[in-house]
Structure 1
């Protein structure tokens, strides 16, 4: 019998599902009989519990289970017969009014996928960036490696704290004479000149000697992460307990070999850094150009987005946020009151892009090819000490391979958009690409 589909809104539909009452009853009876073979009850041997006892204990849950299964089957069959592409899960409720004799009826309300129409890609304007690894970037990385292996020696008592020193301090801040949360610490360490503290705080500590105390005013920025103190002025009392100067290792054979390079030469070190930075630059350039291409495609594709998909994506983002809090050691992170609404714009954008990407892939044969998957995994593995093990790790798990496939497909879509769009090429510095600045 033909399925009648009622249109409620742009993407919302409703169909009526009819189930024979006798079929439901027979299935419930069959499952209860099967359950009776193993169910246990006081006063009865296993398998000898009377059916009326089994039905009394488990009848409701079995009926619920059967109803869910049969409604799911009926909905899937009806959607297939009507050639509907269902988005999300249907909302099923008992149909109002009298049902035909021997039948129970339910309304299934759901959304369908929209028809995604992508406009003329030739009108899309995209800025494509490129970047190179220069000597300055390599020098900067060498300095980072040196700092990662630096040691500290206590300064003589007569010497004050200077740039690069590690200081140990006690401090207490007050606003209008009242202490505030997070404004007090003892035995607190930071490195002078590395941006770990506000500039005004570091300026006050510079030149202080061990055992000295100082009181100074500090103006918190308007955009300070601590909203309770943002934009306010505090008075700080700081006592400097210890000053330690840093010692950076020399870039010699001994130092280079500690980095895992058997050669031990400066040329080998710089070549290895250049290779690793080039790989990172490639990934970051690809990510930035992908974002630019997808931002552009959003402007020429208009369609309604299923609310159910946005809600599901918002819920997923909330779960990710809770997992992130949990990973940071936040207590009761799984119960954190994170409203899904705050992720709604991000969720809608993701869903919209997903639908556009899917349409472009289908229309232009942009699926990931086996050789592309293999090449991407090989490239990822090169940054590890045992590349072959990393390749095997990816290849052995379907979920990880699905993630790789998604990345390759997005790269294919990006390349396709760039091949059709109005592209402006722009060279950016290594520092800009990596999100660095001169003071970092």
Structure 2
């Protein structure tokens, strides 16, 4: 096998690999010989078919396979001897397109190699770590939010007009072309105005209604309404308002605590304090990780594979475009060209990704099967009732599994680096921690 270099520019490499006709023939013979013990043909005992007959019968069918294996072995040998690690799948093309049996096989191979990652003295890095304590005010705010969520409704005095957020109790009959339709009627139905529980336009027409008032609410069912017999049709609902009630937050007491599964108010406060402490710790961890990545980004600089950089910039540009245009579903739109801002962000991501991957590999950092399964389980809990379908999808989709494994690996590498870096502790308030998170989102 002959390998000649055709390109050596930056991280780009190109080679011409020649597999002689005799080498290919030997490879075919080798494969046929390996298969001979299992071959059985009329007139011969199993495993005793002559080589010449085997080649005549099966030679062409194994030719392509032998050719591919030969090139693959040449590439492996090349990477083993040079130490090159391709950034992406090498591009392999047949050079002699008019190839016929008996000719040498000549292919062009091109790829971008991963760069040499410089060593970083992690002990020289200084990383700020925020710590926020949970004060009584934060617990009280959380209690009040729970009370608002567990609100009750108290009847307004007669004659009061219904406001957005009020609950109206009503009887109604829905009609299309003057005829009542199935499922369009109810009695003593409680509806919170502004909740979006009814079809668009219904609730808005009840704002200002009073107890005892009768109204004709005119609406049109959406074109994509779930009931085909109603979709797109105009309807009139004859509504009788029987009561108008205003929202009243639940009282912060032991009764509220039991609604949320706590023994009493003090137990609920303890649960909230623990939950808030975990939220603060997660937020502080996020900021600390960002501070570390900022320090690493300043500490290292090396060439990046152009294809990886371009792919990341394209992905960032595409994702941000969809965030700015949420009404566009799918990818049937014009090509999104990355801006300088996208390229700058991609450069940071690719550089830090390669650095963390190198550190993880050198330190033999692994994500255990147990850690991976726990992460899969946590994500499955986000799909109540569909956990099994989620598990089945993840187990049969290696790419999806890798998307779960990647952040676990990155966090373990980050922890390894933080153990060596100089940590500057900083106690902050909840608001200061929140601002630090918001500043990250704006960058």
Class of the TM-score when normalised by the shorter of the 2 chains: 0.5 to 0.7
1:102 Cα offset (Å)? 1.3
Report the counterpart of residue 284 of structure 2 in structure 1. 285
Deviations 1:332-386 (A, max 9, x none): 42324462525433333222111111222234x26147599389769969x99x9
User: Hey, what's the Cα distance between the residues in 1 that align with 2:166 and 2:364?
Assistant: 54
8 Å contact from structure 1 (residues 16, 108) kept in 2: yes
Report the counterpart of residue 135 of structure 2 in structure 1. 134
CA gap 1:403/1:93 in 2 versus in 1, 3 angstroms? closer
Establish whether residue 333 from structure 1 lines up as the match of residue 330 from structure 2. yes
1:280 Cα offset (Å)? 2.0
148-157 or 77-86, which deviates more = 148-157
Report the counterpart of residue 84 of structure 1 in structure 2. 84
CA gap 1:412/1:331 in 2 versus in 1, 3 angstroms? closer
User: Hey, what's the Cα distance between the residues in 2 that align with 1:340 and 1:86?
Assistant: 26
Establish whether residue 423 from structure 1 lines up as the match of residue 420 from structure 2. no
User: Hey, what's the Cα distance between the residues in 1 that align with 2:122 and 2:257?
Assistant: 50
Establish whether residue 11 from structure 1 lines up as the match of residue 11 from structure 2. yes
Q: After TM superposition, list the pairs within 5 Å mapping 1:231-246 onto structure 2.
A: 245-246=246-247
User: Hey, what's the Cα distance between the residues in 2 that align with 1:267 and 1:76?
Assistant: 66
Report the counterpart of residue 35 of structure 2 in structure 1. none
Report the counterpart of residue 235 of structure 1 in structure 2. none
Establish whether residue 414 from structure 1 lines up as the match of residue 414 from structure 2. yes
1:283 Cα offset (Å)? 1.9
8 Å contact from structure 1 (residues 87, 112) kept in 2: yes
CA gap 1:406/1:89 in 2 versus in 1, 3 angstroms? closer
Structure 1 unmatched runs, 5+:
31-61, 168-188, 192-208, 212-242
Q: After TM superposition, list the pairs within 5 Å mapping 1:70-109 onto structure 2.
A: 75-93=75-93, 95=95, 102-109=103-110
CA gap 1:418/1:256 in 2 versus in 1, 3 angstroms? same
CA gap 1:378/1:108 in 2 versus in 1, 3 angstroms? closer
1:425 Cα offset (Å)? 2.0
Report the counterpart of residue 187 of structure 2 in structure 1. none
Q: After TM superposition, list the pairs within 5 Å mapping 1:46-85 onto structure 2.
A: 75-85=75-85
1:124 Cα offset (Å)? 2.7
Report the counterpart of residue 112 of structure 1 in structure 2. 113
User: Hey, what's the Cα distance between the residues in 1 that align with 2:300 and 2:423?
Assistant: 18
User: Hey, what's the Cα distance between the residues in 2 that align with 1:354 and 1:103?
Assistant: 41
Q: After TM superposition, list the pairs within 5 Å mapping 1:25-64 onto structure 2.
A: none
Report the counterpart of residue 310 of structure 1 in structure 2. 309
Deviations 1:89-132 (A, max 9, x none): 23344549999981242322210010000343344332211112
1:253 Cα offset (Å)? 3.8
Q: Which protein is bigger by CA-based radius of gyration?
A: 2
1:249 Cα offset (Å)? 1.4
Deviations 1:69-106 (A, max 9, x none): 87666544543454321111233445499999812423
1:3 Cα offset (Å)? 3.3
114-123 or 126-135, which deviates more = 114-123
Structure 2 unmatched runs, 5+:
32-61, 168-192, 196-206, 210-243, 439-443
8 Å contact from structure 1 (residues 366, 409) kept in 2: no
User: Hey, what's the Cα distance between the residues in 1 that align with 2:76 and 2:245?
Assistant: 70
Report the counterpart of residue 367 of structure 1 in structure 2. 365
CA gap 1:340/1:104 in 2 versus in 1, 3 angstroms? farther
Q: After TM superposition, list the pairs within 5 Å mapping 1:107-186 onto structure 2.
A: 107-151=108-152
User: Hey, what's the Cα distance between the residues in 2 that align with 1:409 and 1:114?
Assistant: 21
Q: After TM superposition, list the pairs within 5 Å mapping 1:215-234 onto structure 2.
A: none
User: Hey, what's the Cα distance between the residues in 2 that align with 1:428 and 1:251?
Assistant: 28
* TM-score normalised by structure 2 residue count: 0.57
User: Hey, what's the Cα distance between the residues in 1 that align with 2:408 and 2:301?
Assistant: 25
8 Å contact from structure 1 (residues 13, 110) kept in 2: yes
8 Å contact from structure 1 (residues 157, 210) kept in 2: no
1:140 Cα offset (Å)? 1.6
SS of 1:352's partner is helix
User: Hey, what's the Cα distance between the residues in 1 that align with 2:105 and 2:78?
Assistant: 16
Establish whether residue 267 from structure 1 lines up as the match of residue 259 from structure 2. no
1:66 Cα offset (Å)? 9.6
SS of 1:130's partner is strand
What is the number of residues matched between the two proteins? 333
82-91 or 416-425, which deviates more = 416-425
User: Hey, what's the Cα distance between the residues in 1 that align with 2:376 and 2:330?
Assistant: 37
